[in-house]
Structure formats: C-alpha cells, structure tokens
Amino acid sequence: MLISLNRWLLAFLVSAVLITLKPVSNLALAAEVHTSETVWAFADSHGDYQELTKLLKTAEIIDEDNNWRAGKSILVSTGDVLDRGPGPRKIFDLLIKLEQQATEAGGKLLFSLGNHEVMILVGDLRYVAPAEYAEFEEDETEALRDQYFERFVNYHQTKLRKEQKNSRLKIDKKKVRIKFDEAFPKGYFARYEAFSPQGKYGKWLLNKDFINKVNDRLFTHGGLSPELVGKTLNEVNAQLKGELLTYVNAWHDLLSDGSLTHGIPFRQRAKSIINQKEEFVTQFNSQENAFLFSTQSPTWYRGAIYCHPFYENESLRNILASFDAKQVLLGHSVTPTRRVNQRLNNQAILMDTGMLGDVYGGSGNIIQIIDDKLSVLNSSGEVYQPETAYHTAINYPTNLSHDELVKLLETKEADKTEKLKTGITRPSRLTFNVNGNKIRALSKYIDDSPNLQNERKRKPEDMYADRYHNDIAAYRLSELMGFKLVPISTTRPMDEGRGLVQYWVENSYTEYEANEKGWAYDGHCSYEAQMNMMRVFDLLIHNFDRNPTNILIEENQGQLVWIDHSRSFSFRRKLPREIDRSNIKLTPEVRKALTELTKDKVKKSMGDLLNRNQINALMKRRDLILNLDPLDD
C-alpha cells in the first residue's frame, strides 16, 4: 500500500530517510519434488491466455471452466508469462487458482521465475505491451495517479534545485502533467502495485524458485551455465532469490522515500538517487551487477540452445551431475522450428515454441512425462518426440538450403562489388539481391604456389604457401569434423581464373575492433572454451597466422567464427610454435572428432586442394594434438 500523500510530504520536507541496503539470505526453499505421477511442463506463454488455455484443455489438465482436472499430476511453468502479449494477468490468475486446486487434489503446480518476471519485479519495463497496462486500467483511480504524480514532481523538483543550486525553483505542474500522462499510461501504477512485494502477483512470484527439480529432471527458464558447478540446488535458488529480494526491497524503499521516481531505466538508477549517502548509492549500484542479472544466471543463460556441443555437452554433463539430474527442461529461446527440440545429446529439452503466435509465429506445446518417458503434445492434439536441434553459429539465410547458397555464391552475378581496404590481398565484397534479401560474400584471389595440390615433392618455398585453396580446405575440414565454424567457402570465376568466395558473416566484429573500442566479451558461450577449440583447429591445420584481426565474433550470442586460413596446411609435421599449446583441453566430443579423422576421409573431402605431403602432415599433427591431453589410464 502507498503511504498517504500528506505523510509522505511531511517526511520529505523534514528530512530524507536514509535507507539501508539489507541483503536477504538463508531463505528456506523447497524446490525438489519426487513423484510417480504424470509431469507436465510448458514455457514462455508471454501473455497468450487463449493459446495457453487451449493447450491445457487439450492436455486435459483443465476442464471447460478452466478448473484443475489433472488429479495428482505435477504441472511446471518455466516462466515468461509476462511481456509482449495481451493477457498475462489472466494467466497469473489462472495459475494462482490452479496452484490451490492442484494442491487440494494431491497434485502440484511449480513455477520457475523467468527473466521477464525478474524484469517486471525490478521495474525493467522495456518489453511491456500496451495491453498489459490496459489489464489494470479499472484498478487505477485518479486519486492513485495524483499521488504518484506528486511524488514524480517532488523528486524532479528536488533534483533540479540541487543541480541548479536554487532552492526556490519550481516546476510547471501543468506542463509536467502532460508529459507524465504520456509516459505512464492508465493502469501503469495499479500494475506496479500489483507486482510490488505486497501486491497480489509480486508476492506470489517472490515466493517462487528459479530452478525446480522433479525426480531427476531440472526445470528452469534460461539454462545452466558453468558458473553453477559445485553449488547445490538450494544454494543457487537462495543466492538468486536473495539478490532479487535485496534489489526489489531497496528499489521500493527508494521510490517510497522519494529518493527515486518511476521512469528511470534500470541501469541509470544508482546515479539518479537523491538524498542518500554515497555508501548506499555504491552498494545499490553494485546490486545491478549481481549474478541474477548476468548472462550466466539461470534466468538469462542461452548456452543450451546456442553454444557449440563440442564443449557445451561436457559443461552441461558436469552441472547435471552436480545436481544429481539427467536432463534440464528450458524456455527462454524460441526454437527455429517452433517445435520442442532436444539438444546436447538429449540433456537439454528446449520448450519455447513461440506460443505467442502474433509475435513469434508459433503455437502452444507441452511436455508430458509418464513413467520417465517424455513426449510432446501440441495444442492441435499432435503428439511427437522432441526434434534434434543442430548447432549453427553462423546465421545463414533461412530461405535457402546449403546447396542453393553454395550455387548462388559460385555462379550468380553480383549486384554490387566493392573493394575493401583491409587485408593485404585487397579482397572485394560482393552483394547479391535475392528475393528482396541481401546476401554478401568475400571474394579474393591469392596463390603464391600454383598447382601445389598436385606436387609430390616438398619444396622449402611451398612450406608456408599462401593460397585461397587453404581457405576452402579449412571450411571443408571444419564441416567434416563437425565444428561448422568456418563460413561457406568455395570458388567462383575471377579475372585471374577461379578464386575464393566466402559467405560474409553479418552482424559480426573482429577481436581487434572490440579491443579498440574497449568492449569486454559478454557472450553466453564460454570465451575460454571457444578459444581452446579454435587453438585445437589451428594446431591441426598449422594456422600460425591467427591474430585479433581474424578472430570474428558474432554479435548476437558472442560466438567465435573462424576465418582467414590462406597460410595454413603446411607440410610441416610439427605443431606450430606460434600457437600456445599449454592447457589444451580435449573434450570427449573434440577428441572423438580428432580420432575419427582418417587420411581417407581427408583425401576424399579435400584431395583436390591439398597434396599428399600436406595431408600426411595434417594426420601427424592430429596425433600430436591427441597427446597434448592424453586420456587417463
């Protein structure tokens, strides 16, 4: 409840109350359930009440009157009821009702907090749809809006007086009211109160966990990052809930005290606080960097859907083992097929199928687990098994198949050609217009050892040959071994004959550019694991020329893409000294890819690009790499 305006003004005029940041810890949690009953789970409804109720009726979890009919079953939501859609309030009302009815029937409803629940609880409103405010219009009286307007005016007037050093300065309330009503639509403040710690929905959410466990399966919103290794389920939930409550309580105290006001973005609040000690401001600012809000927390992590299986498999295996679990069920990231996917050797089930159809183009899907057997039910009634999701760090066009894209790069006349200023080979960038979409590619020609692929003798001048053929060989080898981190590389006609054409990775930047601009790596995928895997590949192909200008970072998820291999594939049988080989780690997946690489496979894949000396040297280096991280006896 809001304190009365007169009482607030009195407190404000006499002296500002100094707030203490009170960390919350030692929370009693109960996130584990053991059952022999049916377990159901769904993700990311994002306010689509109609599709969710249709799905729950199809599954016979609720009846035609939206009441619980699933007996002793367990129903799990992995969050993201809020934002983007029109009916999250109705969904929460339904879930709160079903929670009580399920308990009375001997069943249970579990809810894992998603990043959008956290965002609303801390007042990060970037993705709130207008209809979400409209759900609370009838609850918001003019008197309530007037109270918040007075707080808004007093905050800004006090702040302005301090900045201008003029204690008599007054704000024009009429002008401010117009801006206020534009910034805060009807329903805004009633919704804020409903999601406050004392509000109906805020109180309910703040009693929920971040990770729930049913039998030997985990249910969380985003994923399980390497940061969780060595922690227990209760420790993780306690830390995250403690960080959430610490921030939420402090933020609400600041709003009530007048030291902050509404409408200030999450990352700008600390520097906007007035009437508080510097020590408190520093502490509050540090809370913005809590683990809860990082890309590695269970609410935000996307490694299970985006990170390479050659290292993410092992990472997830270790985390699941530490929680004594065999599988994790997730939401957060919409699957490309809009159907439930499995990834990382069935360790991760990806349940976000874009239920909010108007935004994501998907439909409702729910997991059913009976006698430990998992299946998927669509809102249409279709039953199917989770489909395998394949890794791709490179965002290739979705409207072309792999073969169609290769043919386009090899044969289509470019609609635009531009010379690039970077690189000693002075490459060109080609642009192809395809059905209104733009596809770009790198084009270059370099070959200082013509016909090397047919040479049988080893010549000193050919040891470090600089050839476009090597870029293509690196692509084929990456595909052959399952790395799939070198962009499509093939040949096309040029003035010099045939040369390299390589798919241009859009929305990317080099490590050199990141260093120049002072950007710290903040991707979901482990930078160390990616660099380790790239070093293995560079050692294998003798790529001694890796440097910050050819380490490409895909900006959406921060994945490393491998480019510029024209000086690779030496016939030297030793590992290149230029590459740090200390602490090389071979995950089971990388070791398997190396072990299964045979001379016959290499000859079949790239015998038209490499001669026998280059291939023999590659295989010898393969053996040396395996010895860098030998298996324990």
Segment 315-352, tens digit of pLDDT: 999 999 999 999 999 999 999 999 999 999 999 999 99
Please state, in angstroms and rounded to a whole number, the distance separating the CA atoms of residues 201 and 187. 15
Identify the pLDDT of residue 27: 54
Both tokens of residue 600? 């016959």
Region 590-613: mean pLDDT is 97
Segment 390-418, tens digit of pLDDT: 878 898 998 899 999 999 999 999 999 99
Contact 468, 446 (CB under 8 A): yes
Identify the band that residue 13 occupies on the pLDDT scale cut at 50, 70 and 90: very low
Please state, in angstroms and rounded to a whole number, the distance separating the CA atoms of residues 406 and 423. 24
Q: How many CB atoms lie within 10 A of CB 153?
A: 18
Segment 348-384, tens digit of pLDDT: 999 999 999 999 999 999 999 999 999 999 999 999 9
DSSP secondary structure string for all residues of 298-347? TTT--HHHHS-HHHHHHHHHHHHHHTT-SEEEE-SS--TTSS-EEETTTT
Sheet holding 348-350, edge to edge: 32-33, 211-214, 217-220, 327-330, 348-350, 341-343, 387-388
Q: Are strands 341-343 and 387-388 parallel, antiparallel or unpaired?
A: parallel
Contact 222, 330 (CB under 8 A): yes
3-class SS of residue 456 = coil
Of the listed ranges 302-316, 344-358, 419-433, 580-594, the one predicted with least confidence: 419-433
Identify the pLDDT of residue 339: 98
Identify the pLDDT of residue 12: 31
Contact 159, 274 (CB under 8 A): yes
Identify the pLDDT of residue 166: 83
Please state, in angstroms and rounded to a whole number, the distance separating the CA atoms of residues 319 and 325. 9
Q: What HEC string does 81-121 produce?
A: CCCCCCCHHHHHHHHHHHHHHHHHCCCEEEEECCHHHHHHH
Segment 102-125, tens digit of pLDDT: 999 999 999 999 999 999 999 999
Identify the pLDDT of residue 436: 87
Q: What HEC string does 576-620 produce?
A: CCCCCCCCCCCCHHHHHHHHCCCHHHHHHHHCCCCCHHHHHHHHH
Region 482-511: mean pLDDT is 93
Q: How far apart are the first and last CA of the chain?
A: 66
Identify the band that residue 126 occupies on the pLDDT scale cut at 50, 70 and 90: very high
Contact 186, 140 (CB under 8 A): yes
DSSP character at residue 425: T
Look-up: residue for tokens 């990052």? 225
Residue type, 214: V
With 70 as the cut, is the pLDDT of residue 535 above it? yes
Q: How many CB atoms lie within 10 A of CB 358?
A: 12
Identify the band that residue 133 occupies on the pLDDT scale cut at 50, 70 and 90: very high
Both tokens of residue 580? 């740090």
3-class SS of residue 509 = strand
Segment 271-313, tens digit of pLDDT: 999 988 888 888 888 888 899 999 999 999 999 999 999 999 9
Region 487-508: mean pLDDT is 93
Q: How many CB atoms lie within 10 A of CB 116?
A: 25
Identify the pLDDT of residue 2: 32
Average per-residue pLDDT for the chain: 92
- Among 24, 23, 26, which Cα is nearest to 280's? 23
3-class SS of residue 42 = strand
Q: How many CB atoms lie within 10 A of CB 406?
A: 16
Q: Taking the CA atoms of the chain, what radius of gyration do you get in angstroms?
A: 29
Sheet holding 559-562, edge to edge: 508-510, 551-554, 559-562
Identify the pLDDT of residue 477: 99
Region 25-31: mean pLDDT is 55
